Structure 1
């Protein structure tokens, strides 16, 4: 088969809360006649993003074409989960025209790209492009990009200090693999923040790639689909901190699923989540909440102290179960402390 006969796959990567699911929802509703399939992966045993995307299913991307892998990071479960899932998608009577893969916020894209060379699938699919999302406001504030001056100051103070944090390694590996970087939450960052984010990322990139501002995932699909990058054949240009003998470990991070009683005060739960981020260094929280007297479920998502929430759809026959998936660095995720911080 020629490369033109291969089904294109777009890998959407980016740190926790950078807007990957929002982008994919936009692509699903603006498919441009393509029949899509979506593979969504989340860190931890339970996912939320898959349910969000299934609520957007339509003729272009029916619910059976939205597959969730919620049993570990996709870059570490290639043989057990990714390859069989791709094979199942390709064996369906009506094959997708384009496959979107949303990686976990903690995943490294390069091991996933290497999987496209597996004999079972390499003649049938190709990596059309890797789209890395970066929270422009956070990057501008220096939270997910290294500060060379600060590193030098730390080295001067302690020559034995490990200057590369797990978070910065993940962030850098994601942008190193990118064909396009989307600077998300552009409305929050403003022009000054966008300029600072561009400069911080450009200083780390091994090659020049386009960087485009995006708000609420709204971008013309023609800009990011159809790149024909064949990224699986271009691995040398996409360096990783974990090239060579270094193994990618997820022991740096932990998650916990917290069941909650019915919520009576939305602002109180928002304040509790903000306090967890501030006092317990929680990176991310997301989930659905049952609110007293409301027939619709409340979708709550947070990145650090930034919390967003909205009613997304009626509970219907689904049990009114409130739960939050909480993610943080290993040692910061204490289930008892988190439950106490949420007032349960």
Structure 2
């Protein structure tokens, strides 16, 4: 089996310096081919056009995907996971994946999403990196422009958590494997020392903290942390743990043999009913349709299902009809089976 692709999650409030950090990383990637998933928005946030214009052969325009449909931790099934799977399906797979979150995102649910069955065998969370605006932290503001953060919150119709900035900040640093204390050039040495002492008292013992200016950090330091954060969630406390236990819990899957079908539309109708009733997150598979020489591909995320014929069945190939059903750990497999096959 091929080695897992490492992924780095970069979080931090709007304006903390994530753009500068990521662009410097692209320009100094030591030959690594990078793929970026960008979820920030707003004038002070990550500018996709800026990153796409960096002209680095190791990170082309095709390697940068922007997710603008809401806070990434609230749209895991609809946006983030299909994007990861699209990257993994490419022939020229990246050496490293960088995921830049919205400043309003809860990092722990996003890390938990890497436990998705089709992802965890191919990707590991190399580390969670939290970027802190040094002067803002000194002033007790967390973000340099709280009004811009509030505007970001109000503009995101998909946001399903309304947390105070301090709670979000706690989640960001509690989930981190590395803290980047940015804009250090705008602070006095005594201010940096005071902030560092305060922060270290709030961090898990093993968390590394570095100070930077303009997000300039050697890729050899930022990448290759080897944290495997998806397997280390219990040590990363969150004030939202109780609220998220059901919504973002671990995933499981099972294979359902449906047999030869006579009508794709009938099966689609049954699947839609099962998805609505049992909260299925993903379905995919190949189907044999009666009196058809071609194989039917069926796949869906949430309640969006699509199907198409992709090729002829080979003469020596067994015409199988199987669906992989993916949902949360407590999904009722018996009820789903009855709805689809009944």
TM-score band, normalised by shorter chain: 0.5 to 0.7
Structure 2 gaps of 5+ residues are 144-161, 248-342
Q: Does 1:230 align with 2:228?
A: yes
- RMSD over aligned CA atoms reads 2.5
Contact 2:126 2:229 in 1 (8 A): yes
Distance 1:18 1:218 in 2: 13
Contact 1:133 1:184 in 2 (8 A): yes
Q: How far apart are residue 43 of structure 1 and its match?
A: 5.1
Residue 196 of structure 2 corresponds to 198
User: How many residues were matched structurally?
Assistant: 229
Contact 2:109 2:244 in 1 (8 A): no
- Paired residues for 1:155-304 under 5 Å: 166-245=164-243
- Paired residues for 1:1-344 under 5 Å: 1=1, 5-42=3-40, 49-144=47-142, 166-245=164-243
Contact 1:242 1:248 in 2 (8 A): no
Q: How far apart are residue 102 of structure 1 and its match?
A: 0.7
Closer/same/farther in 2, CA of residues 200 and 83 from structure 1, 3 Å limit:
same
Residue 302 of structure 2 corresponds to none
Distance 2:101 2:131 in 1: 11
* Alignment TM-score, normalising by the size of structure 2: 0.63
Which structure has the bigger radius of gyration? 2
Contact 1:6 1:126 in 2 (8 A): yes
After superposition, the C-alpha distances for 1:305-344 in whole angstroms (9 at most, x for unaligned) are xxxxxxxxxxxxxxxxxxxxxxxxxxxxxxxxxxxxxxxx
Distance 1:226 1:55 in 2: 26
After superposition, the C-alpha distances for 1:48-98 in whole angstroms (9 at most, x for unaligned) are 621221111421001000000011011111100001001111111100000
Distance 1:123 1:185 in 2: 37
Residue 290 of structure 1 corresponds to none
Closer/same/farther in 2, CA of residues 208 and 230 from structure 1, 3 Å limit:
closer
Structure 1 gaps of 5+ residues are 146-163, 250-344
Closer/same/farther in 2, CA of residues 239 and 97 from structure 1, 3 Å limit:
same
Query: Secondary structure of 2:98's match?
Result: strand
Distance 1:165 1:116 in 2: 23
Structure 1 stretches of at least 4 aligned residues deviating more than 6 Å after TM superposition: none
Residue 158 of structure 1 corresponds to none
Contact 1:202 1:208 in 2 (8 A): no
Contact 1:136 1:193 in 2 (8 A): no
Distance 1:134 1:217 in 2: 10
